[in-house]
Amino acid sequence: MKTLIAYFSMKGQTIAPGMKIVDLEKGHTAVVAETIRSAIGGDLFEMETIKTYNPDHMKMIYEAQDELKQGIRPELKDYPESLDQYDTVFLCYPNWWNTLPMPVLGFIEHYDWNGKRIIPANTSEGSGAGQSVQKIREVCRGAEVEAPYELIGSQVDSRIEEIRTWAKGKSEA
């Protein structure tokens, strides 16, 4: 079984508990993806947009909302040439506006998912996966899409061992 860990993550400003703005050197979802890879191996792919999002978090979230409302798929800098060699894809992303960030939606629309196993891992500050898994199932027809692993982003650093254990359990299933 060959595994891909594909993720989208924002570094810089984000909201922490108590609606406090904090500055992250590495986004919470990147930490989750890297932890999965260190636990089970596989290939790691970061979805990086060509465009740069506003560094002010409060402005960025409305920029993301506009993308959602207008159906904009920000272009990624790169895409894996093919997913044919992968049986399993851990899809790691933050919850933006109760669904997938539009760069992630553009990524999954790019491929044929028939016969693949998709394991969503989602970060948020309490809203869970929202409608994101429903959207993954809609787009990735023919894939087995598992229930999401939902994490509070600001708690990721204190849950590394739990993430590792979860990932190992999924890779052995």
Kindly list the domain boundaries of the chain, sorted by start residue: 3-172
CA distances from 77 to 50, 63, 118, 158 (A): 5, 19, 22, 31
Rounded Cα distance between 31 and 47, Å, is 14
**Predicted local distance difference test score (pLDDT) of residue 37:** 98
Residue 7 has pLDDT above 80, yes or no: yes
More reliable by pLDDT, 139 or 18: 139
User: What does residue 117 show for φ and ψ, rounded to 5 degrees?
Assistant: -105, 120
Residue 146 has pLDDT above 70, yes or no: yes
Mean pLDDT of 120-148: 96
Mean pLDDT of the chain: 95
Q: 65 near 97, Cβ under 8 Å?
A: yes
**pLDDT tens by residue, 19-73:** 788 888 899 999 999 999 999 999 999 999 999 999 998 899 999 999 999 999 9
Residue type, 111: Y
Mean pLDDT of 129-144: 97
Rounded (5°) CA angle 76-102-83: 55
Q: 156 near 30, Cβ under 8 Å?
A: no
**Predicted local distance difference test score (pLDDT) of residue 22:** 84
Mean pLDDT of 121-131: 93
**Predicted local distance difference test score (pLDDT) of residue 1:** 67
Structure tokens at 83: 């997913």
Fold of 3-172: Rossmann fold (3.40.50)
Residue 126 has pLDDT above 90, yes or no: no
pTM, full prediction: 0.95
Mean pLDDT of 2-12: 95
- The three-class DSSP label of residue 145 is strand
Residue 160 DSSP code: H
- Residue 18's pLDDT band, with cuts at 50, 70 and 90, is confident
